Chains A and B, each alone.
Chain A
Amino acid sequence: MACALLICGCGSPQSMFRSASKQSHDIDLLWWWMLGAAALVFFGALALLGIAWIRRDTPGLPFFGERESVAELMVLAFGIAIPVVALVALFGVSDIYLIGESSPPDPRKTAMTIHVIGHQWWWEVKYPGTGVVTANEIHLPVKTRVNVVVTTVDVIHSLWVPALARKVDTIPGAHNRILFDVGRVGVYRGQCSQYCGLEHADMALKVVVQTRAAYRSWLNGQQRPAPATATPLQAAGRNVFMNSQCASCHTIGGTSARGAIGPNLTHVGSRTSIAADTLANTPANLAAWIRDPQAIKPGVLMPDLGLSKPKVRELTAYLESLR
């Protein structure tokens, strides 16, 4: 099983074995120890059953014969004594010692705070104090203790990036917190893991962990309003956006679009994926999405607006330019 795990673990972007934080790494370690102990128990019990099969025609135990007290002692030893020891050890390690790591961080001991807000079926990410709002893509500086505050505007979701940390549910009316403290630069995939309705399966996100410098320059870019349109196509797209229903659901910083239902699109062109990591952010995918989001994510809360092909092309050009 361990081999199977290792083989698959490498090819799996969301595997918990790609741990990139101490927290996640310790949980991995706990898992391997538990697996080892469990294998011991399992194969031990299996061996007993094997002996039972081999000796199916002879009553009693090898060496000990048919004395009832030996059988009873066996139950007491394997059924009470050994489990008590093993369980106390497990309890101490996981529920007393390791739990500190997965508990909510002390906000005074973190370098920054971000807010992650669950929506049906995408993630809104806010950087308090900077005005930056983005979606489905969390950028973080490496080796920085980040206090992640999660909540929701609708139902319960669960933020789970296996390589970085434990998961945490977004509870209506509450603000749960976890710690992200990532040791390695990289892109880590996560996914909503609490069932939240039709498109629960397509509610993923990426955590992009960058060097501090790269992070700072990203943040600076995000703080700027949307860039001005550079081509007539883009300008036409901008026009369509502002004058159709798009603007009633989406915000684009520096324009009149102030909708709050869908993701903030101010810098949508800079994101690597759209629709909660359902599609890569390419012009073709973006166009397909705008033309018929329901075909890509059935039930999604963005309607199929029945736009004509040219309009879609203009919109795509415009949105792609928002970097």
Chain B
Amino acid sequence: MATTVPREGQTYVKRLELIWAPRPGLLGWLTTTDHKRIGILYFFTSLLMFGAGGVEALLMRTQLLGPHSHVISPRVYDEMFTMHGITMIFLFVIPMTTGAFGNYLLPLMIGARDMAFPRMNAVSYWIYLCSAIFMYISLAGGHAPNAGWFDYVPLASKRFDPGVNIDFYGFGLIFNSLSSTAAAINFIVTIFKMRAPGMSLNRMPLFCYAFLAASFALLFALPALSLAALFLELDRNLGFHFYDPAHGGSVLLWQNLFWIFGHPEVYIIILPAFGIATSIIPTLTHRRMVLFPLVALAEVMVAFLGFGVWAHHMFTVGLPTSATIYFAAASLIIVIPSAIQLFAWIATILTGKPDFKTPLLFIVGFIIYFILGGLSGITLAAIPFDQQVHDSYYVIAHFHMVIFGAAVFPILGGMYYWFPKVTGRMYSERAGKASFWLTFLGTLVTFFPMHILGLLGMPRRNYTYPAHMGWTLMNFIESIGAYMLAAGLLMIVLNLLISLVFGQETDDPFHGDTLEWSTSSPPAPYNFVVIPTVTTPYGMYDTEDRRRDNKRLARGEGLLDEGHETPMTTAQDADLVEILEMPPHSIWPPVCALLLAGMFAMLLLVHYWIAGAFLVLAGMALLAWHSHEEQA
């Protein structure tokens, strides 16, 4: 139940309102450093990207609806699946989970008033936006990346792809990874340093563990991708030979570097989904998570082990058998932490009193698809079988089950779950349930037949297929499923948009058990009137804590109403260390992002000196940003 501010507290609230008042209008959004506003920006941008990736998917499905069709040309088809992969992975899921959900909820869940580095948070968003625009300019110009999302050399080398298509990919991903790296650092520091006094690590919600693990994985995985892309651009534009076997290079160097990033990446995609699931399940089953510490450990283990399995994407390239066996073993070991979490969720639902509202339905869908996709993942770790179905639709089926079924479903469930929190209004439960069934069945109809197609020998990335191959029926079913899916997703978006205006006003419809529910919905710019204190893992369950908070409010203690302030605590026990002054707003983050965009554009156009000038300007903007002295 959200705190109601006692009358004695109202004067303090007025003061906080004044101190934290956002700037009005567009300028307010442009210069904002408020994690909630940045989260909302992230949300709508990545939703738009989801739409773009979805349209690309629908175009592909329409082309594959029947054999020998000519809806789009092979050239366009290649750009479509490449952009679909890049968009969904880099421009939708990662920004949606870390950017939107993480940004909005994490500070609220740990009782902070903002992220540790609010301006860096803003710059993460602006860089993300610029990199998305950067990559989509290529599509608009008809030169979109076209060598697949893992962009294998030598197909991606200058010799076989002379246009700028691949340069958009290379520079776009380096640009984009700046944003993700900054965001990852920000999350880690926020989680370690900004928790409410008393929220020691063992009292931290599982959601935060998931984001912590994902952020660490991002931090260590991204350099491999950036470096691989740097090597690629050096090869392409300056005639270097990293990937050229004729001059001592190696095409497998690219594959190794890409998957050293790429496999951790897929767990980065799923971990926030785990976090969302572990938030929704306890609330809607009215009990605590079974084996909380083990689940926290498992979340961290998944991220950690994810760095040791990359070559399971390379079982057919001719690695020594001993090496493939090692990677297969590692891929099997990683099943254990996943299984622990899975059965902890199931046990929680089983032993609780589950209230199958829309968010929980999506979580149940997630569990089902995670089992399906996980089990097909296990079969892929069986080397001889993988060598059969590698690069066939079986793999497409595996990863859409885990990515769409298991990573996107919690995102959709989370949209419903936190919608009242963010807007103060309730979505329509009936439309919500209907949209669940439509997406659930749509997913099954779209992606399940892909397993069969793979076993029947259909390779992936085929712009068409002959009629006599026995693939026509399955492809037809899949395409119909994709349209169902689109309808279901549209229904979700419409439900939320309509409820935004007409929904019933509400404050805390689910009686959530984490701190974000202890404040008003939508939260005030300062999040909490009084800095919350925590003595149990379940902030809201412990009404004693909240009562104490209210008493402090009545006495005017712990308000931090002398400036734009938030407490900083110790990393482990969350003892209060000091009070930080936070930067209220800044124009420099968007300026910096824009200058960096200029630099990457100039690199693309091979004007290296101008690119250097942009870099210097960006450095100066960074200096200007820091010359306004606050914590950051």
Direct contact of A and B (CB under 8 A): yes
The yes or no answer to A41 lying at the interface (CB within 8 A) is yes
Q: Which residues B59-74 have CB closer than 8 A to chain A?
A: 73-74
The yes or no answer to A48 lying at the interface (CB within 8 A) is yes
A193 touches B388 (CB 8 A): no
Nearest CB on A from B72, distance (A): 11
A residues less than 8 Å from B325 (CB atoms): 95-96, 99
B residues less than 8 Å from A75 (CB atoms): 290-291, 294, 340, 343-344, 347
Q: Which residues A161-214 have CB closer than 8 A to chain B?
A: 162, 166-169, 171-174, 176, 189, 191-201
Q: Which residues A45-76 have CB closer than 8 A to chain B?
A: 45-46, 48-49, 51-53, 55-61, 66, 68, 71-72, 74-75
B344 touches A79 (CB 8 A): yes
A-B contact count (CB 8 A): 266
A174 touches B318 (CB 8 A): yes
Assembled-state Cα–Cα distance A27/B390 (Å): 13
B residues less than 8 Å from A191 (CB atoms): 457, 459
B residues less than 8 Å from A174 (CB atoms): 245, 318
A-facing mask of B318-345, CB < 8 A → 1, else 0?
A: 1001001100110011011001111110
**Known contacts A102-B387, A167-B391, A201-B462; is A59 also within 8 Å of B457 by CB?**
no
Assembled-state Cα–Cα distance A120/B318 (Å): 21
Residue of B nearest to A28 (CB): B388
Residue of B nearest to A200 (CB): B461
Q: Which residues B397-423 have CB closer than 8 A to chain A?
A: none
The yes or no answer to B133 lying at the interface (CB within 8 A) is no
Partner of A46, one of B148, B339, B351, B368: B368
**Known contacts A154-B160, A299-B74, A299-B75; is A58 also within 8 Å of B375 by CB?**
no
The yes or no answer to B608 lying at the interface (CB within 8 A) is no
A residues less than 8 Å from B341 (CB atoms): 79
A80 touches B339 (CB 8 A): yes
B residues less than 8 Å from A166 (CB atoms): 316, 384, 387-388
A158 touches B329 (CB 8 A): no
A172 touches B351 (CB 8 A): no
Residue of B nearest to A39 (CB): B375
Residue of A nearest to B317 (CB): A169
The yes or no answer to B258 lying at the interface (CB within 8 A) is no
A8 touches B470 (CB 8 A): yes
B456 touches A8 (CB 8 A): yes
B384 touches A72 (CB 8 A): no
B73 touches A298 (CB 8 A): yes
The yes or no answer to B154 lying at the interface (CB within 8 A) is yes
A27 touches B388 (CB 8 A): yes
Partner of A52, one of B349, B391, B458, B461: B349
The yes or no answer to B252 lying at the interface (CB within 8 A) is yes
B residues less than 8 Å from A56 (CB atoms): 353-356
A99 touches B321 (CB 8 A): yes
Assembled-state Cα–Cα distance A11/B461 (Å): 22
Residue of B nearest to A41 (CB): B375
Nearest CB on B from A168, distance (A): 6
A residues less than 8 Å from B372 (CB atoms): 42
**Known contacts A34-B379, A191-B459; is A71 also within 8 Å of B290 by CB?**
yes
Residue of B nearest to A67 (CB): B351
Residue of B nearest to A97 (CB): B384
The yes or no answer to A13 lying at the interface (CB within 8 A) is yes
Assembled-state Cα–Cα distance A51/B349 (Å): 10
A residues less than 8 Å from B324 (CB atoms): 95, 99
The yes or no answer to A246 lying at the interface (CB within 8 A) is no
B-facing mask of A135-148, CB < 8 A → 1, else 0?
A: 00000000000000
A-facing mask of B107-149, CB < 8 A → 1, else 0?
A: 0000000000000000000000000000000000000000110
The yes or no answer to B465 lying at the interface (CB within 8 A) is yes
B residues less than 8 Å from A55 (CB atoms): 350
B459 touches A51 (CB 8 A): no
Nearest CB on B from A71, distance (A): 4
Q: Which residues B359-413 have CB closer than 8 A to chain A?
A: 364, 367-368, 371-372, 375-376, 378-379, 381-385, 387-392
Q: Which residues A231-261 have CB closer than 8 A to chain B?
A: none
The yes or no answer to B455 lying at the interface (CB within 8 A) is yes
Partner of A15, one of B456, B459, B473: B456
Assembled-state Cα–Cα distance A189/B456 (Å): 11
B353 touches A58 (CB 8 A): yes
The yes or no answer to A305 lying at the interface (CB within 8 A) is no
A94 touches B382 (CB 8 A): yes
B-facing mask of A1-29, CB < 8 A → 1, else 0?
A: 10011001101111111000001101100
Q: Which residues B273-330 have CB closer than 8 A to chain A?
A: 286-287, 290-291, 294, 316-318, 321, 324-325, 328-329
A14 touches B371 (CB 8 A): no
B160 touches A79 (CB 8 A): no
Given contacts A30-B384, A158-B316, 8 further A-B contacts (CB under 8 A): A1-B451, A49-B349, A75-B340, A79-B336, A80-B340, A94-B385, A96-B325, A194-B391
The 3 A-B residue pairs whose C-beta atoms are closest, nearest first, are A173-B245, A14-B457, A12-B470
